[in-house]
């Protein structure tokens, strides 16, 4: 199938330097949603897929944002003379053996099932996706005859008063046989109120040639909504999030409030997962059976094992966490951190690029960076792994069952042996032997008979 996505328009009302189609919905550019949905539909129908995006305003930025996508072609439309002119720019790239599906880059939430229905309804003829709106102002109207056959589409600015009463509108999404579409596009004129080459005029040409035009109605208006302003972007974000919440609940998760759940990536959930309010999930996150996430967490690219509990206000990024662990409240995990089963990371603890084996704990106010930590280690309150010498980062290795006292500093590179204890307040810079108590702090002294100074009169 050929896919043509129109994305050359200016998007002036966004008031942004970023081209409109690069604004994100659910963490992905709008254009990425459209490409993804259309390609998934095309793949399902078999045959080769050609995807052509028509760009104009901000063309280079759009091209760059998708430069790693070998399966998407870009054509420049300069100047922008209307939607028909836009599709005409893509024509040389289209394969006449397959139909052409036209979509808009700023209508991101159209469903795959809806496109399927449009393609099935059109068959080898023309299909137009329509929707009925309580207020159709501004849209092209679908003009049908007494039998309900689609005759043509008339734009708001060209419509008669009677035509303006029609509440069935053109969503802009259309499918047509490619060879015929090429011929119709070549014959478009711009003799209309906006002096543009309207794609919508191909409908009347099809009808004149006796080619059937199926007007297929979208199930709900949400999926045909376009974005022209930040307010509409926010509205579509809510639509996308309501869908994401519904999908996560379908998969079995309990959401404390689906209206306070944000997914900007992919979330997979096991059975009996509970997610409290105001959590944001980004990238790829998986939550195994029985995981509980407290309120106000940000979780990006993490895999969390069964029955682990993440308490409120945690920021977890790029971490792999085992089963029955307890994280937070107020914990921060940074990329390439691996926590094994039953690890506890408590409040105001930051862990970066470290591995903690089964049962180890850092319950309060600690920094653990570039460390390999054994089993059942207890990292005391206020422990700092000083991994950075101002120029380079170094590793720390802490053996099984070691304990570090409160407010200790382990200056890397350093090894703390298995079963070692570091006394509270110690700054250790050399190897800490296994099984011993090591104290590295000034000795406590008491000055007997010392008199506290008194104020001179
Ligand atoms: C268009 C349709 C109208 C429909 C409405 C749905 C035409 C003539 N009209 O109207 O029937 O109800 O969409 O929203 O097709 N674009 C280009 N190059 C251009 C012009 C537009 O790439 O030269 C792109 C825009 O970036 C946008 C899309 O095409 O993504 C639609 O353009 P827009 O100007 O919004 O069309 P409307 O006038 O709203
Ligand atoms: Ca529009």
Last residue of a domain, one of 175, 198, 224: 224
**Residue range 290-322, pLDDT digits in tens:** 999 999 999 999 999 999 999 999 999 999 999
Residues 152 and 29 placed together within one structural domain of the fold: yes
Residues 209 and 272 placed together within one structural domain of the fold: no
Residues 262 and 183 placed together within one structural domain of the fold: no
**Residue 366 belongs to what H/E stretch?**
strand 361-369
Residues 80 and 206 placed together within one structural domain of the fold: yes
Look over the chain and give the mean of its residue pLDDT values, rounded to a whole number. 97
Residue 451 lies in a domain: no
User: What atom of ligand 1 comes closest to residue 140's alpha carbon?
Assistant: 11
Residue 294 lies in a domain: yes
Residue 363 lies in a domain: yes
Residues 269 and 130 placed together within one structural domain of the fold: no
Residues with CB under 6 A from ligand 1: 6-9, 54, 77, 80-83, 85-86, 104-106, 139-140, 153, 155, 169-172, 198-200, 226
CA-to-CA separations, 58 to 91, 103, 104, 220, 226, in angstroms, rounded? 21, 19, 16, 31, 19
Overall average pLDDT of the 396-424 stretch: 98
- Alpha-carbon dihedral of residues 302, 34, 74, 189, nearest 10 degrees? -170
The answer on pLDDT for 252 being more than 90 is yes
Buried b (16+ CB within 10 A) or exposed e, 408-422: bbbbbbbbbbbbbbb
CATH code of the domain covering residue 241: 2.160.10.10
At 219, the pLDDT band (50, 70, 90 cuts) reads: confident
At 260, the pLDDT band (50, 70, 90 cuts) reads: very high
Percent of the chain with pLDDT over 90: 98
User: What atom of ligand 1 comes closest to residue 20's alpha carbon?
Assistant: 26
Ligand 2 centroid to residue 135 C-alpha, Å: 15
> What gap in Å lies between CA 439 and CA 310, rounded to an integer?
34
Ligand 1 centroid to residue 368 C-alpha, Å: 54
Give the total number of structural domains in the chain. 2
pLDDT of residue 220: 87
pLDDT of residue 226: 94
Residue 166 lies in a domain: yes
pLDDT of residue 10: 86
* Ligand with an atom nearest the CA of residue 138: 1
pTM for this entry:
0.94
Report the residue among 137, 172, 226 best suited for mutation to probe ligand 1: largest number of ligand atoms under 8 A from its CB: 172
Residues 220 and 255 placed together within one structural domain of the fold: no
Beta carbons of 356 and 370 less than 8 angstroms apart: no
Percent of the chain with pLDDT over 70: 100
At 91, the pLDDT band (50, 70, 90 cuts) reads: very high
Residues 88 and 203 placed together within one structural domain of the fold: yes
pLDDT of residue 364: 98
Residues 234 and 186 placed together within one structural domain of the fold: no
Active-site residue set: 364
Residue whose pair of structure tokens reads 């319950």 in the numeric block? 363
Ligand 1 centroid to residue 101 C-alpha, Å: 15
pLDDT of residue 15: 96
Q: At what angle do helices 201-208 and 178-186 cross, to 10 degrees?
A: 110
> What gap in Å lies between CA 370 and CA 393, rounded to an integer?
8
CATH code of the domain covering residue 36: 3.90.550.10
Which residues lie closer than 8 Å to 147 by C-beta, 6 or more apart?
none
Closest residue by Cα to atom 3, ligand 1, is 140
Residue whose pair of structure tokens reads 């039953």 in the numeric block? 342
Residues 200 and 243 placed together within one structural domain of the fold: no
Residue 48 lies in a domain: yes
What is the residue range of 38's domain?
Answer: 2-224
Residue 260 lies in a domain: yes
Residue whose pair of structure tokens reads 């940000």 in the numeric block? 298
At 222, the pLDDT band (50, 70, 90 cuts) reads: very high
Overall average pLDDT of the 111-140 stretch: 97
Overall average pLDDT of the 264-268 stretch: 98
- CA-based torsion, 434, 435, 441, 442: positive or negative: negative
**Residue 285 belongs to what H/E stretch?**
strand 279-287
Half-sphere exposure of 432 (CA within 13 A, CB side): 34
Which residues lie closer than 8 Å to 370 by C-beta, 6 or more apart?
352, 353, 354, 385, 387, 393, 394, 395, 396, 412
Closest residue by Cα to atom 25, ligand 1, is 9
Residues 200 and 77 placed together within one structural domain of the fold: yes
Residues 168 and 281 placed together within one structural domain of the fold: no
Ligand 2 centroid to residue 116 C-alpha, Å: 23
Residues 347 and 368 placed together within one structural domain of the fold: yes
The answer on pLDDT for 45 being more than 90 is yes
* Ligand with an atom nearest the CA of residue 6: 1
Overall average pLDDT of the 347-372 stretch: 98
Ligand 1 centroid to residue 416 C-alpha, Å: 67
Q: Quick count: other Cβ atoms within 10 Å of Cβ 450?
A: 6
* Ligand with an atom nearest the CA of residue 10: 1
pLDDT of residue 357: 98
> What gap in Å lies between CA 384 and CA 131, rounded to an integer?
61
Radius of gyration from C-alpha coordinates of the chain: 31
Residue 201 lies in a domain: yes
Last residue of a domain, one of 224, 256, 272: 224
Report the residue among 13, 83, 176 best suited for mutation to probe ligand 1: largest number of ligand atoms under 8 A from its CB: 83
Last residue of a domain, one of 177, 199, 224: 224
Residue 454 lies in a domain: no
């Amino acid at each position: 199938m050929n896919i043509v996505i129109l994305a050359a328009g200016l998007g002036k009302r966004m008031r942004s330097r970023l081209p409109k189609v690069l604004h994100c919905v659910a963490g992905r550019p709008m254009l990425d949603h459209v490409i993804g949905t259309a390609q998934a539909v095309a793949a399902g129908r078999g045959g080769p897929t050609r995807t052509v995006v028509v760009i104009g305003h901000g063309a280079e930025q759009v091209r760059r944002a998708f430069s790693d996508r070998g399966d998407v072609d870009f054509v420049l439309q300069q100047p922008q003379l209307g939607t028909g002119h836009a599709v005409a720019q893509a024509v040389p790239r289209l394969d006449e053996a397959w139909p052409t599906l036209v979509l808009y880059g700023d209508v991101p939430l159209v469903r795959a099932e809806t496109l399927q229905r449009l393609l099935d309804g059109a068959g080898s003829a023309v299909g137009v996706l329509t929707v009925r709106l309580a207020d159709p102002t501004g849209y092209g109207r679908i003009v049908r005859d007494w039998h309900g056959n689609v005759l043509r589409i008339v734009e708001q600015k060209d419509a008669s008063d009677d035509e303006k009463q029609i509440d069935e509108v053109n969503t802009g999404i259309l499918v047509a046989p490619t060879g015929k579409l090429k011929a119709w596009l070549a014959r478009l004129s711009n003799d209309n109120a906006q002096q543009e080459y309207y794609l919508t005029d191909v409908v009347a040409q099809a009808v004149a040639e006796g080619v059937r035009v199926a007007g297929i109605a979208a199930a709900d208006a949400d999926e045909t909504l376009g974005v022209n302003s930040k307010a509409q972007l926010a509205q579509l974000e809510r639509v996308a999030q309501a869908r994401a919440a519904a999908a996560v609940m379908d998969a079995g998760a309990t959401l404390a409030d689906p209206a306070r759940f944000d997914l900007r990536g992919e979330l997979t959930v096991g059975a009996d997962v509970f997610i409290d309010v105001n959590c944001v999930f980004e990238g790829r996150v998986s939550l195994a059976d029985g995981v509980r996430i407290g309120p106000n967490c940000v979780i990006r690219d993490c895999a969390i094992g069964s029955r682990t509990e993440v308490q409120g206000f945690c920021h977890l990024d790029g971490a792999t966490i085992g089963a029955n662990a307890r994280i937070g409240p107020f914990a921060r995990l940074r990329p390439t951190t691996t926590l094994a089963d039953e690890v506890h990371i408590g409040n105001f603890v930051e862990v970066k690029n470290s591995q903690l084996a089964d049962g180890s704990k850092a319950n309060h106010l600690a920094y653990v960076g570039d460390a390999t930590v054994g089993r059942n280690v207890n990292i005391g309150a206020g422990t700092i792994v000083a991994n950075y010498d101002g120029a380079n980062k170094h590793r720390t290795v802490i053996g099984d069952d070691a304990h570090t006292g409160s407010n200790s500093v382990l200056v890397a590179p350093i090894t703390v042996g298995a079963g070692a204890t570091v006394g509270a307040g110690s700054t250790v810079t050399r190897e800490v032997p296994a099984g011993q108590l090591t104290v590295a702090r000034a000795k406590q002294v008491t000055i007997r008979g010392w008199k506290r100074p008194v104020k001179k009169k």
